[in-house]
Amino acid sequence: MSAFSHKKFDAGQYNQFRPQYPRSLFDEILKYHLATEGNQLGTLLDVGCGTGQVFVPLAPEFKKVIATDVSSVMVDKSKKAAEHITTPTEVYVASAEDLPLDNSSVDLVLGGECAHWMDTARWFAEVDRILQPNGTFAYFGYVDPIFVGEPVANEVYDEITYENGEFLGPHWQQPGRTRMRTLFREINDQLIKDPRFDNVVVVYNDPSRPETQPAAPKFELTKKLTLEEYLNYGKTWSTYTNWKSKHTGQDTRDPLDVMYERLNRRLGWEKQTTIEISWKTVYVMARKIGRK
């Protein structure tokens, strides 16, 4: 996860332009957790906490919050966010696969937009160790913003972010990006088969394929914004950070400038044009099998 750990990474821009998780997603996870008799809202652990987009809105529900990230840049931002909540909160740099927490000390483990970075086997083992019996393990993510009703714009997105080797495609970190683009399917399948967890729920949502919409409550992430705001969101992508670090001082055209030029030429969009985007999403919930 070197892109987000880089000292020059702009965590403020990440916090400003990344989409916010809907309250309905958190409510669905809490409903799942409390459906198991005896489960409590004691300690919440937010791994890969980033700038605090998960633990801050959920903190009032819990007696204690612990938030961790491997990036000190992100942790600094989360510490500032934690100053504005009343729930006792600990925020520190730590790997999700090796946490300085006691056995069976956490009621609910959450991971937002981070499962693709983990060593899955070690992460699952650590979650099993720190969760209370019957505790809840949940993670979720979003990927590839789709321009709603704009196939040409989606073609331009694919050209710049994946297909053309001159731009962002070669700079995605692997295997993380592939895991993300498949909505964690490999990770989800491993969790379904893991004997330490049961009652696994996986809900996929692909707005580009409405015929596949799930029957269960889905994690919807849609936003209206200007094209300029969209391009600023693009600057929070790990591939853009990696591209910039490798092209410092070089006479190379910024990929997001090229994206704007192509959208302007092919669709007539200006930077203040309002657009609507919708992300592919997934959320996963599981229960640790109740044993001491």
pLDDT tens track for 114-168: 999 999 999 999 999 999 999 999 999 999 999 999 999 999 999 999 999 899 9
**Domain membership flag for residue 235:** no
The whole-number pLDDT of residue 247 equals 86
**Domain membership flag for residue 160:** no
Q: With a cut of 80, say whether residue 15 has pLDDT above it.
A: no
- How many structural domains does the chain have? 1
SS3 145: strand
Q: With a cut of 90, say whether residue 32 has pLDDT above it.
A: yes
**Domain membership flag for residue 247:** no
| Tokens read off for 161 | 């972010």
CA–CA distances in Å: residue 267 to residues 96, 151, 168: 44, 11, 22
**Domain membership flag for residue 250:** no
Q: Which of 87, 35, 26 is nearest to 53 (CA)?
A: 26
Task: Quote the pTM value.
Answer: 0.91
- Asked whether the beta carbons of 139 and 115 are under 8 A apart, the reply is yes
Structural domain that includes position 66: 2-145+173-221+280-288
Indicate which CATH number applies to the domain containing 181.
3.40.50.150
